[in-house]
Amino acid sequence: MHPSLLVSVIVGDVLFILGFLAFFFGGAEHPAALIPALFGAVIQTLAIIAHFFPKTRGPFAKVILIVAFVGLVIGGARPAMLLLGGGQVTWTLALASQIGLALGCAVVFCASFVLLLGQAFQKS
- The whole-number pLDDT of residue 120 equals 86
Grade residue 89 by pLDDT with cuts at 50, 70 and 90: confident
Number of folded domains that form the chain: 1
Q: Which of 1, 115, 10 is nearest to 63 (CA)?
A: 115
Mean pLDDT across 62-77: 95
Question: What's this model's pTM, rounded to 2 decimal places?
Answer: 0.89
CA distance readout (Å), 78 to 11, 75, 85, 87: 21, 7, 10, 12
- The whole-number pLDDT of residue 72 equals 95
pLDDT mean across residues, the chain: 91
- Could you tell me the residue range of the domain that residue 75 belongs to? 3-123
User: What is the residue type of 111?
Assistant: A
- The whole-number pLDDT of residue 27 equals 83
